[in-house]
Chains A and B, each alone.
Chain A
Amino acid sequence: MVRHLRAALLVVLASSGAALAVAQSLPPDASYRPLPVAPLAEVKAADEAQKAEVMRLQRLLLEERLDLSDRPMPNAMMSGGRKRIQDGVRVKLRQGTTWDSLASLTPDEIRNRGLLPAGFMPLPHVKQATGGQVFPTNQIDEIARQEQRNLRRFDVDFDLPDLFTPEFPPPIFLTTHPELGDVSRGELLTIKNYYHLMVGFLTPVQLEGLRLLLTPFPQEEFNQTEDRKSADQSLGVTCLDCHANFHTNAAFHQTPDVRPQAARFRLDTVSLRGLFNQQIHGSKRSLRSVEDFTQFEQRTAYFNGDHVSAQRKGVNLPDRFDQVPMMAQMQNIIDFPPAPKLLPTGRLDPSKATQQELAGEQVFLGKGQCAACHVPQTSFLDNNMHDLHLERFYKIGQTSNGLVMLPDGPIKTFTLRGIKDSPPYMHDGRLLTLPDTVEFFNLVLGLKLTQPEKESLVAYMLAL
């Protein structure tokens, strides 16, 4: 009897608690990708009709936020020597402010007066409501030429000017053959050419890993179903379609880790150079091995965090004990580009560095606080995630071209080795140049750097 009473009491408590905790449930398609409700032909016609306006709005947004003009640094090229590095702070200030006046205000003052430059705020996907992978034109054209595979979308184009993306195709440096330098021969690695380019340079295990990384598999926007954004039934996407030559071509997507769709922030493709020293993977997921990452991205049709929808399009489940380690071993031999001014400790060699670079290193290690996370000794990583709390500086919940701008929360520390090769910057590519990143952290960390200190930091980062 006592037991019955206790059970009844528990039910009462549980039901009253439930009523308090769960007032209302959200719709399932706030989490799950919905099925299309219209035939592909109609969706495609509407998407194509919208496209000009979609691109116009994003261009307007970029121009409001950023100076997109061609202003390269003199005598500064990316590692392959084929593309110039863009200079200058490109984020536009709000009217009536200067970088110094802004830096003298508190975060509260900046937020309450709406003075945070819009270019510092989260960058929307070119079409936020649809999202998905978007490739730059050079990648689309080269894959079409070599493989006759279509990476072009009918609803959107790549939105950033080519000036602010990495050189293409990027050089490839191997940890197993530092003496050879760039082994790409100026080619983009594809399923068609990898074997003749790499046999004799790689082990059989590495070659098989490379083959898998270059094999297309269904992706949410590139597949055979009506839920796709390629005009033809697509063979899919490969790992290296974004991580071109194991670096990045600035292809972008949205974070798989956030819902609903409007809150999913943009993701700029990260370089795989130096992956061997990286202990956590994914901007938000903190996956503990590249094996986990490699396997799991095949599970959710590349970065949508939705295994349910991916299942319908044909998931690829590489064998964990055989195929995944081969893919991982291939990724783990990709080196950073040479940095001849760096010592084995990650510090500058005073006999080779300029006075400005050395001054920049001092700022990096001291007043700039950069080395608190970007530790020189460990490839400028700390294998942690950190929250910059940018939301101290702006009112959250504003919508910008479909993206609801919310606190980013903790984001993985990215390496600064070879950073000159990897524009645009930050996890979503919101910043176009290295001088932009200096102004960003000057404000966010309250550093109050002088102009010579800022310039020395840029010079230092070019040497990394």
Chain B
Amino acid sequence: MMLRLVPMSLVAVVAVLSTAAAQTASPRGPGQGNPAGTPAGTREATAGMPAPRQFNQADRTFLELATKGANAEVEFAQLAERMSRDTAVKQFAERMTREHQEANKRIATFAHNAGLPPMQGLDPDHQALHDRLSKLQGAAFDRAYVDSQIADHQVMAQLLEYEIGSGQDKELKGLAAELLPTILDHLQTADGVLATLTPTVANRR
């Protein structure tokens, strides 16, 4: 269980900072959403503009899936740090722990604000994967871990894009837009680690 509820003071600080950032509209960002996805009863800041912390279905779906994915990232990375003896894999895992922990806190704040119930432990899919990885050792573990990381980051990249296009809460969409380049960089890095584990003609130097 990696998701920890952050103290309310931090929630407040993040909310204030995010609101300040949201006031300076720029073309470098997610832009306006499609009001066809705005549920009835949504409060508006100004005409046509949903007020902050008014979450639509896509926001909620994103938060739930992102929380599951983000929790798993850290849990798996810590497992890899313990299990792997491969330098590239260990370095990758350390980076995942470091960078996903930070992102997890921010996602958790939004999940709390959206009224989602706190998540206990890993979701069943990730738990099954965790169980399987825990039984592997050496090269088999490394390969399985990195393979799963590639799949998870592929899903996470698409999920962030989904939120940027279909979400409603400006700050949450902004967070997704901010995280996406990093997630794509993780994916490219994982591809690179996989190449070191599975030398082929294509990547022979």
Contact = CB atoms under 8 A, between A and B. Distances in A.
A23 B47 contact: no
B35 A260 contact: no
A38 B39 contact: yes
A27 to B, nearest CB: 5
A267 to B, nearest CB: 16
B11 interface: no
Contacts of B27: 57-58, 60-61, 64, 400-401
A19 B130 CA distance: 9
A90 B163 CA distance: 33
Interface string B28-70: 1111111111111000101111000000111001100100110
Interface in A382-427: 395-402, 404
Given A397-B157, A397-B184, A227 B30 contact: no
A26 B159 contact: yes
Nearest to B48: A49
Nearest to A21: B151
Interface stretch (A121-129, A358-366, A450-458): A121-129
A129 B177 contact: no
Contact of B68 (A24, A27, A130, A259): A24
Nearest to B41: A38
A24 B152 contact: yes
A42 interface: yes
B38 A46 contact: yes
Contacts of A345: none
Interface string B158-184: 110110111000000000010011111
Nearest to A24: B155
Contacts of B58: 27, 29
B17 interface: no
Count class of interface residues, chain B: 35 or more
B79 interface: no
Contact of B125 (A23, A43, A57, A395): A23
Nearest to B39: A37
A396 B151 CA distance: 18
Interface string B128-163: 110010000000000010011001100101110110
A128 B165 contact: yes
Nearest to A261: B165
A142 interface: no
B72 interface: yes
Count class of interface residues, chain A: 35 or more
B147, B165, B166, B182: residue with the most chain A Cβ atoms closer than 10 Å = B165
B144 A404 contact: no
A46 B33 CA distance: 10
B25 interface: yes
A23 B125 CA distance: 6
Contact of A260 (B47, B132, B152, B165): B165
Contact of B158 (A42, A43, A260, A399): A260
A125 B48 CA distance: 20
Nearest to A156: B32
Nearest to B127: A19
Interface string B59-98: 0011001001100100000000000000000000000000
Interface in A21-76: 21-24, 26-27, 29-30, 34, 36-38, 42-43, 45-50, 53-54, 57-58, 60-61, 64
B159 A124 contact: no
Given A48-B48, A50-B32, A129-B33, A29 B166 contact: yes
A396 B184 contact: yes
Interface of B: 25-40, 44, 46-49, 56-58, 61-62, 65, 68-69, 72, 123, 125-126, 128-129, 132, 144, 147-148, 151-152, 155, 157-159, 161-162, 164-166, 177, 180-185
Given A27-B162, A53-B32, 7 more contacts: A24-B152, A26-B65, A43-B38, A57-B32, A127-B34, A129-B166, A262-B166
The 9 closest A-B pairs by CB, nearest first: A49-B48, A402-B31, A262-B165, A261-B165, A61-B27, A46-B35, A397-B181, A49-B47, A36-B36
10 contacts: A24-B152, A34-B36, A38-B35, A57-B27, A58-B27, A227-B36, A260-B162, A397-B180, A399-B180, A402-B31
